[in-house]
Amino acid sequence: MSEIDTSWQPRRHPAQKAAFIMATTGETISFGALEARANQGAHVLRSMGVRAGMHLAILMENRREMLEVCFAADRAGVYYTTISTHLGPDEVAYILSDCDARLLITSARYAGLIPALRETLGGACDFLVVGGEDPSQSSWDAAAAGMPETPIADEAQGVDMLYSSGTTGRPKGIKWELEPAPIGTRTMLVDLLTTLFGYGPEARYLSTAPLYHAAPLRHSMVTIKAGGTAVIMDRFDAEGALRFIEQYRITHSQWVPTMFVRLLKLPEETRLSYDLSSMEMAVHAAAPCPIDTKHEMLAWWGDIIHEYYAGTENNGFVAITSPEWREHPGSVGRAKLGIIHICDEAGEECPAGQEGEIYFENGHQFAYHKDPEKTRRATNQKGWTTLGDIGRVDAQGYLYLTDRKSFMIISGGVNVYPQETEDALLNHPAVLDAAVIGIPHEDFGEAVHAVVQLLPDTEASEELREALFAFCRSRLSSIKCPRSIEFRSALPRTETGKLHKRLLRAEYHGPK
């Protein structure tokens, strides 16, 4: 692989080379065009009064301008917050207010939210629209077109301030310290990702998920900064992803376990009809991967699959290669950033093999924006930090995830973590997706309840329900088996595979 340019900016790479490509349309943005548009965008930010250290927000679908705006912010020394396109006006207004956004840049698709946001926020936030033709709205395109393509005079390194997905409550901004630094300054994240996953000038990276999420955004930007080419899907489609790997000769890609499940549920003749030989590395994270699913993917793609465990907070980072995983099936790896500690409810460190809450020592420092209490709860007396996940470490230091602490079911006084039950259900050939929660039970306090999405053209029936009960009983202890199963057309997942269990739980327990 070619030596990576340590300047980490589009202007350092060949101007005619593709920086990123919109996969579906083939729209290609060269490094030269990205450099010019990022500079114009930075001038727009300064003209709107957005100075270094301030905040802006971005709300748009995967499109060319989203990355251009992020690169503009990245060289203007500002915090930039990308917002989920699935949120309603009240939720968007909450984030804009919470992060003190001076400016929201949105696309025409979501510009209809602006009147309600303006009414809620008053004059605290300005708005610019990408791709809009409504003369009553201020246009990002028009503003940028009139700006110089040369750098702003006071360039500085910016940083994202992303929000948690809100799967267990209100989303919180995850804030890293923004210190004055020249643009292109190598960060901990750049060093980590390029070292572990080899993003460099030869990389052609397929981004399969919305750019408003942490991993797709950060991995895409690191690829581009390293001189590689990012290929951006507008939305995930299992067969479409295989087609793009073949079409663009993808070398690197990123996935979540639910995507693997959907890939494996494709007909075998479909899966095997695409040329995937260009693939050198497939990275996955976001949730524990069912062991059987991982074995099937390894049998199909070979030992190019790398897994990691981390949060948007990046307070620690754990990773594992395919050969390591074969020796430690089910593990997410050993620490690459920070030191892992497993602690019991009293805060005492657990011995190897015992489950407890996962903490990291000497990881990256962060804070939850405007929520010192949440920051305090995530930090123990020794200064170690946690994301609230449960797991264990073996004698060799390999971490195994159990589930999130907040998802635990207490049934008859026994703690049940639903991930194992979900994994068992996903292995049934009729099941496309599954969620397991605790629902109120008169005798046990909570009972294990499964919500199942079936494959298309598969009919729900009592016979199938009984078959799923039997399938679970053949693989799990009785306490982990669901006492009830319901069928639904879809589960409330984010597009990076995280399950909104609080929405399911609220149907039975009320809001929490």
Are both 79 and 89 inside the same structural domain? Answer: yes
Last residue of a domain, one of 407, 435, 463: 407
Considering only residues 318 and 2, tell me which one the structure prediction assigns the higher pLDDT.
318
454 in Cβ contact with 490 (< 8 Å): no
Q: In sequence order, what DSSP letters do the residues of 446-485 get, joined into one string?
A: EEEEEEEEEPTTPPP-HHHHHHHHHHHHTTS-GGGS-SEE
Task: Judge whether residue 111 has pLDDT over 80.
Answer: yes
Please report, for the domain that includes residue 461, its CATH number. 3.30.300.30
Considering only residues 454 and 495, tell me which one the structure prediction assigns the higher pLDDT.
454
Give backbone dihedrals phi and psi of 414, rounded to 5 degrees, phi first. -105, 135
Task: Judge whether residue 410 has pLDDT over 80.
Answer: no
For residue 4, what pLDDT is reported? 40
Q: In sequence order, what DSSP letters do the residues of 83-143 get, joined into one string?
A: --TT--HHHHHHHHHHTTEEEEEEEGGGGGGHHHHHHHHTTS-EEEEES---TTS-BHHHH
Of 55, 54, 76, 58, whose CA–CA distance to 67 is shortest?
A: 58
d(CA 29, CA 166): 33
Considering only residues 277 and 258, tell me which one the structure prediction assigns the higher pLDDT.
277
Structural Rg of the chain based on CA atoms: 23
Domain count across the chain: 3
Whether residue 169 is contained in a domain is answered as yes
Please report, for the domain that includes residue 332, its CATH number. 2.30.38.10
Whether residue 312 is contained in a domain is answered as no
Give backbone dihedrals phi and psi of 250, rounded to 5 degrees, phi first. -65, 135
Task: Give the lowest-confidence range in 71-85, 148-162, 401-415, 449-463.
Answer: 401-415
117 in Cβ contact with 89 (< 8 Å): yes
Whether residue 376 is contained in a domain is answered as yes
Give tens-digit pLDDT for 473-497. 998 878 889 999 999 999 988 766 6
Whether residue 428 is contained in a domain is answered as yes
Whether residue 11 is contained in a domain is answered as no
Last residue of a domain, one of 407, 434, 451: 407
Are both 104 and 131 inside the same structural domain? Answer: yes
Whether residue 257 is contained in a domain is answered as no
315 in Cβ contact with 367 (< 8 Å): no
For residue 306, what pLDDT is reported? 97
- Output the average pLDDT for the chain: 90
d(CA 271, CA 262): 11
Which CA distances in Å does 510 have to 302, 503, 505, 506?
45, 9, 7, 4
Are both 356 and 499 inside the same structural domain? Answer: no
Are both 380 and 429 inside the same structural domain? Answer: no
Are both 393 and 462 inside the same structural domain? Answer: no
Are both 91 and 131 inside the same structural domain? Answer: yes
Give tens-digit pLDDT for 123-146. 899 999 999 788 888 999 999 999
386 in Cβ contact with 360 (< 8 Å): yes
Percentage of the chain modeled with pLDDT above 70:
94
pLDDT band for position 409 (50/70/90)?
confident
Length of the chain, in residues: 512
Of 289, 287, 240, whose CA–CA distance to 263 is shortest?
A: 240
For residue 167, what pLDDT is reported? 47
pLDDT band for position 166 (50/70/90)?
low
Are both 44 and 162 inside the same structural domain? Answer: yes
Task: Judge whether residue 2 has pLDDT over 50.
Answer: no
Give tens-digit pLDDT for 199-250. 999 999 999 999 998 999 999 999 999 999 999 999 999 999 999 999 999 9
Task: Judge whether residue 512 has pLDDT over 50.
Answer: no
Q: Which residues pair with 386 in a beta bridge?
A: 359
Task: Give the lowest-confidence range in 44-58, 298-312, 439-453.
Answer: 439-453
Best-predicted range by mean pLDDT (177-181, 358-362, 410-414, 435-439): 358-362
Q: Record the pTM.
A: 0.82
Q: Which residues pair with 343 in a beta bridge?
A: 349, 357
Are both 428 and 350 inside the same structural domain? Answer: no
Are both 330 and 373 inside the same structural domain? Answer: yes
Of 87, 40, 23, whose CA–CA distance to 59 is shortest?
A: 87
Are both 386 and 430 inside the same structural domain? Answer: no
Are both 354 and 453 inside the same structural domain? Answer: no
Which secondary-structure segment (H or E) carries 434?
strand 431-441
Cα angle, residue 107 at apex, residues 101 and 108 outer, rounded to 5°: 130
Task: Judge whether residue 168 has pLDDT over 60.
Answer: no
Residue range(s) defining the domain that contains residue 328: 322-407
Spell out where 149-227 has E strands.
Answer: 159-160, 174-175, 204-207
Give tens-digit pLDDT for 3-37. 444 456 778 899 999 999 999 999 999 999 999 99
For residue 153, what pLDDT is reported? 96
Whether residue 238 is contained in a domain is answered as no
DSSP state of 62: S
Give tens-digit pLDDT for 374-407. 889 899 989 999 988 889 999 999 999 876 666 7
For residue 384, what pLDDT is reported? 94
For residue 126, what pLDDT is reported? 96
Whether residue 259 is contained in a domain is answered as no
pLDDT band for position 176 (50/70/90)?
confident
Last residue of a domain, one of 354, 389, 407: 407
For residue 297, what pLDDT is reported? 97
- Cα dihedral 295, 300, 304, 307 sign: negative
Are both 369 and 419 inside the same structural domain? Answer: no
First vs last C-alpha separation in the chain: 50
Give tens-digit pLDDT for 297-318. 999 999 999 999 998 888 999 9
